[in-house]
Amino acid sequence: MKKSKAHLYAQKQTTTPTHITTAYQGHHIDVQVETVDLPEGPKTYDLVCHPGAVAILPITDDGRIILIEQWRRAIKQILLEIPAGTLEPGEDPELCAIRELQEEIGYKPTKLTLMATFFSAPGFCNEKIHLYLATGLIPSKLTGDDTDCIDTVYYTLDELNDLIQKGLIHDAKTLIALKLYGK
């Protein structure tokens, strides 16, 4: 069987790096510079290393979807999105999802179902997002780091589909969650 161009390229790219340096260490990310020797010469990659994250689609008993509005500094605007958060080193994604829901919307799920696991931007970042469906919500508030700037909003799936059609939801994890839930 003939290998595709992508497979042949991947074989070359899996070469062990000859040099790795950490260009930046932050609170949630590191930036590494990897040099790989390829037949055509050395190639350098800037890679964002992320511990992973969770994202949660919370559904109330009456079928409404709880989203949050929050200021996102990187894009300088407020986004409408599902609750989410970064994994602590070694943290179980399910426990992180429960904690994030309590911090961001003040509910704890009685049922948590994994919907999907995906990479957010694999061209330069290794962040893996674990996407959960949360149901059987009971009030249970925890104080989080940035929860003072978050507003909680409730929508029906039809209302959210209208917002998507109007181009008013721009967050990828939210679009993925709603697409998977609405299928």
In terms of domains, do 163 and 111 share one?
yes
CATH of the domain at 143: 3.90.79.10
In terms of domains, do 67 and 144 share one?
yes
Contact 58, 106 (CB under 8 A): no
Reported pTM? 0.89
In terms of domains, do 80 and 108 share one?
yes
Per-residue confidence (pLDDT) for residue 4, from 0 to 100 = 80
Residue 167 DSSP symbol: T
Per-residue confidence (pLDDT) for residue 179, from 0 to 100 = 97
Domain that holds residue 73: 53-182
Per-residue confidence (pLDDT) for residue 17, from 0 to 100 = 87
CA 170 to chain centre: 13
The whole-angstrom separation of Cα 75 and Cα 53 is 19
Contact 20, 32 (CB under 8 A): yes
- Which residue do the tokens 């042949």 mark? 8
In terms of domains, do 87 and 140 share one?
yes
In terms of domains, do 30 and 72 share one?
no
In terms of domains, do 33 and 69 share one?
no
Give the H or E element holding residue 8. Answer: helix 5-13
In terms of domains, do 61 and 107 share one?
yes
In terms of domains, do 93 and 118 share one?
yes
pLDDT along the chain (183 residues), means of 10: 71 77 95 91 95 99 98 95 96 98 97 99 97 98 75 98 98 98 88
Closest by Cα among 162, 154, 133, 181 to 69: 154
Question: What distances in angstroms separate CA 121 from CA 27, 63, 167, one per listed residue?
Answer: 19, 31, 21
In terms of domains, do 78 and 20 share one?
no
Counting the structural domains of the chain, the total is 2
In terms of domains, do 108 and 131 share one?
yes
Per-residue confidence (pLDDT) for residue 2, from 0 to 100 = 74
Per-residue confidence (pLDDT) for residue 105, from 0 to 100 = 97
Closest by Cα among 41, 55, 25 to 119: 55
In terms of domains, do 12 and 58 share one?
no
In terms of domains, do 35 and 122 share one?
no
Per-residue confidence (pLDDT) for residue 148, from 0 to 100 = 57
